[in-house]
Structure 1
């Protein structure tokens, strides 16, 4: 079992969530430790499978149409189906919910139409009982921001010192037209999806660009909200043992207000507007089921314009934010 991280490890993880590509030298200066200490702790955490830094793309900025999909399965079938889904490049955040009888996942097609093809195939898959697909319209909280952003130990001054200058402060309300990218950009995305801290030399080799061009292009992509960096970490890093997905039916005129309010809740790891009767989707993490009950009957119940709620406890996460990762926790 993974023990709690000590204060220094928590500070490092928080720093990486703020800027996954921050040089160890800058992190060390902000944390008041040596470069070697930061490098050693990061290597230890990554080697133990506790965390990894990912470079990911925002599908809405690329003109893609992501979907949040709920799949009800026959008893005993969800593990096999979720494993097959996890092998696909266009799926992320695959969770087994409702005692393992339902799968919830995000489909991020690489090109227009690919996600639709998957959705067309799912209803005919053996032992799939029902499929519900919700188009993701707008992200209120998530992407480069996570629970680590809210609960990390760094001070406001330390956060400001680590915040990247070329990254947008928050997702735009209107992402605008698709940002143009080419084959070399996609090769860079492939490398960063596996290791967000891949060296500029590795990225130059993958793209065929000079290192100067790599740096300039990454800055452009981050500033445009196309490329962001996230930390994929073991759930016990935050010592919160109960996770649930919420589906909220909100009056259309209050969706934006509700989304902003949810973004500030310390329990919320992700919040987005979606299509369907349940038009706001939320991922919640609490210490235990009692804390979840207090959250559901307190802050959620107090939100304006709530017409109905539904929840599905997460039994297991099969795949996280990036490519399929099955780390061995090793000696910790």
Structure 2
């Protein structure tokens, strides 16, 4: 039996969590004009029906790290096994099966050059069933990071969104070196962005006051932000696709900024490679995807070529849960 689609209040809750993933239910309830119990009940329901998770993420650029998009062509018999192996790695954030199940697309944030080279030049290249490997370094993000697709729903009124949004301090010089205590805290928040202070204290061995200070510093500097993970199908987006656009260098920035404004776009970034603009889009149907490609993508200046690949299965979306 298919679960009912989220209603207006569900969307407001999801949008609120995208703005501040750790906002107390009491605060969200006050802003939405409902009871604490209603917010808690809706949250539990969305965890079950829409796979709702709040995940702590880090801005890799502030840490002096690179983000890579790796595309693997492999034999059909190994694609799923390879995707699951990549999904288990802590330095991958997204892993998808695309193109008839013969390609794996992976977003990775290696912690060091050695870790990157070990994966790209050693393990993957030595896997016999892997036919080809192409790796593209993310140069600039036009849409993504702290911004998620839920920000485009405008489910919250501007005043409600402003009331939830946390103030940020002045920009800080990168790269920033994390301490071991920071890494321990981030490891827990990557599994559960709404872990309580008591849970964070127990898991990291730090005092609750130290946990609060570190969490506040990591958030205020922009190093730590929170993303809402959810099943896209439950929100009416049954089609997910990857777009590789080849854009004239002089038009790249304008095309990327315009792409970021499209309601269908969940991520857009400039990368190395011949296809220098990457986008993840979601639509309700293939006919809607066709309209999007022919009208909105077709209307972008400077686009010389476009390759489209449907996502068959999301193996990892921020978190990896093989049982689901």
Q: TM-score higher than 0.5 here?
A: yes
In structure 1, stretches of 5+ residues that fail to align are none
What is the aligned partner in structure 2 of residue 197 from structure 1? 194
Q: Which moved more, 1:258-267 or 1:202-211?
A: 202-211
Cα gap change, 1:167 to 1:46, in 2 (>3 Å):
farther
In structure 2, stretches of 5+ residues that fail to align are none
Contact 1:90 1:108 in 2 (8 A): yes
Contact 1:65 1:112 in 2 (8 A): no
Contact 2:168 2:222 in 1 (8 A): no
What is the aligned partner in structure 1 of residue 157 from structure 2? 155
1:179-258 matches, cutoff 5 A: 179-258=176-255
Distance in 1, Cα, partners of 2:271 & 2:155: 32
1:1-332 matches, cutoff 5 A: 1-48=2-49, 50-120=51-121, 121-166=123-168, 177-322=174-319, 324-326=320-322, 328=324
Contact 1:57 1:228 in 2 (8 A): yes
Aligned length in residues: 322
* TM-score normalized by the length of structure 1: 0.91
Contact 2:138 2:271 in 1 (8 A): yes
Q: Please state how far the C-alpha of 1:130 moved relative to its aligned partner.
A: 0.7
Moved over 4 A (4+): none
Contact 2:97 2:314 in 1 (8 A): yes
Distance in 1, Cα, partners of 2:189 & 2:289: 35
| CA distances 1:216-264 after superposition (whole Å, capped 9, x unpaired) | 3222222322111001111223211111000111122222212211111
Cα gap change, 1:311 to 1:13, in 2 (>3 Å):
same
Cα gap change, 1:303 to 1:119, in 2 (>3 Å):
same
Distance in 2, Cα, partners of 1:72 & 1:117: 19
CA RMSD, Structure 1 to Structure 2 (Å)? 1.9
Distance in 2, Cα, partners of 1:166 & 1:215: 16
Distance in 1, Cα, partners of 2:290 & 2:173: 39
Q: Please state how far the C-alpha of 1:110 moved relative to its aligned partner.
A: 2.4
Cα gap change, 1:184 to 1:138, in 2 (>3 Å):
same
Q: Please state how far the C-alpha of 1:8 moved relative to its aligned partner.
A: 1.8
Q: Please state how far the C-alpha of 1:152 moved relative to its aligned partner.
A: 4.5
Distance in 2, Cα, partners of 1:260 & 1:50: 30
Distance in 2, Cα, partners of 1:216 & 1:284: 37
* TM-score normalized by the length of structure 2: 0.93
| CA distances 1:153-209 after superposition (whole Å, capped 9, x unpaired) | 2212211111122389xxx8xx95311211100000010001101112222333444
